[in-house]
Amino acid sequence: MAAYSSQLLENAVNQFASLPGVGSKTALRFVLNLLRRSESEVDDFAQVISKLKHEVHYCRECHNLSDAPVCTICANARRDHSTICVVENIRDVMAIENTQQYQGIYHVLGGVISPIDGIGPDNIEVESLVSRAMKPEVKEVIFALPTTMEGDTTCFYLYRKIAPRTELKITTIARGVAVGNELQYADEITLGKSLQNRTVFQQ
């Protein structure tokens, strides 16, 4: 364990080191960098972090992150509100948006069904998706979940929940995304083509 000459320094390093993927050496480098900055820069940094925690919301429609009760995607009248793309997490929304190939709206589940991890349907945003999918203005639901056993299990479960609305088109992205991969790690071209070449979901 490093011998710190300042308890405040040690406390700051420990806080940074608590972040995923940040070791003690990297945390120390971050803290020393902050100490070299002006007081106003550090105050701005701290204020941004505080505002992030206290003022960022989850969109009441799709559960994406937002500065307002409804995110900019859901609030955009130019988006295709008849098409909902179902994703695991917020990073997947970012990945799809970066392709510039999709103009519909989203539904962020906040996870996938994984019994081994103790995650069931009640632990993710299933019921709110079902409510949205039952609205007559919604014409298509796209499953854009990880090509893993957990992702497939979640797709099958969601299909059974929304399939009773027979006029609803239920599709899934093409398998251009390699089996076992998560969307956020796919390159933009591959992900874009997977969306464009989506197919009807088969049980």
Same domain, 38 and 97: no
Same domain, 88 and 13: no
Whole-structure pTM value: 0.82
d(CA 190, CA 177): 7
Same domain, 90 and 156: yes
> What is the mean pLDDT of the segment spanning 192-196?
70
Same domain, 180 and 140: yes
Contacts of 112 (CB under 8 A, 6+ apart): 88, 119, 124, 145, 146, 148, 150, 151, 153, 154
User: Would residue 63 count as lying in a domain?
Assistant: no
Which domain range does residue 193 map to? 79-200
d(CA 114, CA 39): 46
User: Would residue 188 count as lying in a domain?
Assistant: yes
User: Would residue 12 count as lying in a domain?
Assistant: yes
pLDDT digits (tens, 9 = 90+) for 162-176: 999 999 999 998 765
Q: What CATH number did the domain enclosing 15 receive?
A: 1.10.8.420
Same domain, 23 and 105: no
d(CA 115, CA 121): 10
Same domain, 42 and 138: no
pLDDT digits (tens, 9 = 90+) for 44-75: 999 999 999 999 999 999 999 999 999 999 99
User: Token pair for residue 200?
Assistant: 């009807």
Same domain, 176 and 90: yes
First vs last Cα of the chain: how many Å apart? 54
The DSSP bridge partners found for residue 3 are: none
Same domain, 121 and 29: no
